Structure 1
């Protein structure tokens, strides 16, 4: 064999290998064979076109095989391809449809794909419909009418509502509504003792309110797991009110005291003013007497008689003034 024949043979071998690699890459023959053996009607041309459309056949064909084996006739290749191109999870949707069919749950293909595209795990939702989920609420603080604070914890058993998964509220809304119901139930109780004696009354009252309306879940039961006694809020509020009243009373008393002090200072000022007027008037007496002497209206004997009368009056006032400690020393004015 000459050199040209060797080159031609090598070229054909390499070209054949490259052709087989490209063929099995764009035309998954063994996947087609697996689909034919499973009873799924799909051609090699369709598998090749999936590659051209950037749809992985290894995602679509296993889903078709699983649906065919489960007896689901409403799942088509075009539907799975459209869901994949829309950004959905083909495997989860097929698993959810098979699980729903086995559990006698009415779940159409369109609804399953809508739930998946909405961002929810449709397979987990179907599982939750069969096996309810228990959600533990955070501690909820409420105050009874007698002023005692109670801290309650509840366990909410929910089941997924397939019809409300698209557009329905999630777990956070359910927990918020349950917490609101617990606060309302405890707040309407006359005494905290009645709540401690009958914690099931909280569950019954909360369940009657229909808290699962508009949510993606159906509340099956609400069980009070624990109730602890907190602070005496009523007593604390009364103490705060008493302190506030005391501060107000003290402020008013201080205001009255300040007004009294101001009034006292005003009266002292008026007394000083009156005393000044008396002194001013007394200063006019010697002038009047001198004027009387000059005019002859007052004689010297009249003046001495007046002085004697004043001395006699001062003596009598001194005798009549009370003494201290039995001594004869008169009290100073």
Structure 2
């Protein structure tokens, strides 16, 4: 039986699984090799269990042999465990098996060694970069009016609601600096990779972190839910797209919690946690763009956190109904 060097929780395992899927896609794209069995195992068991079974097996897997024949053992799970930041989740016994297989195949691997620094900030400090500060940081990068000590990203990009790309570690560093009242934050203070808390917090704030060669996701409003609100009014579609930006919504909620201690409806004052008796009831609170009417929103309109408000689902739906009726009246008058 093997044991984890560091506990791989569900969220980490999901990210590890996604990482392995990306490598499988690379093998298919570059080698015309479709690792169907591997992908099936990932879907059924997740990344950690799949790797433990394949690496821990007595003999090299069929996929290992295929990659050896193609001269791409760097894409084998053995190499991906040994040569990346994910090594910290696997015990030495399993790593030795991976090394033995790679050595036997003539592959020269280099064990991943994380850069250790006594100046690394603890997790409790990093978590002060809430979605509110991360959103504010993204706004600064969008404006181009930002200074920081971080270089350009070499492997990953953060994608904002407009599809623009920024260096994830730089965005997080600026956010953390704001959260710590302007303290100087440098690259040495935290790591930025797939297994890092930095990436986890950026994703929790509503932003995608993707490899540089990954195509930007579609921002087509037709892919959004609640189609009934989108028929016949392009400005209303724009309004909804702004509201449904995960970064904006999470930032507003984080700001509201910081200022008021909990999430409540700004219209009817509903306190969902008190009513339903569970913190999960916070899902009842949504974010609505309130200060600028959609008819007055230009294409370059910039939404600030004070432009949106927290509403319960009932009030939010009512406000949108009133908004739609108001637009009908204006259209009739025109």
Bin for the TM-score computed over the shorter chain: under 0.3
Q: Could you say which structure has the higher strand fraction?
A: 1
TM (norm. structure 2) is: 0.21
Tell me which of the two structures has the higher relative contact order, counting C-alpha pairs closer than 8 angstroms and 6 or more residues apart. 2
Q: Could you say which structure has the higher helix fraction?
A: 1
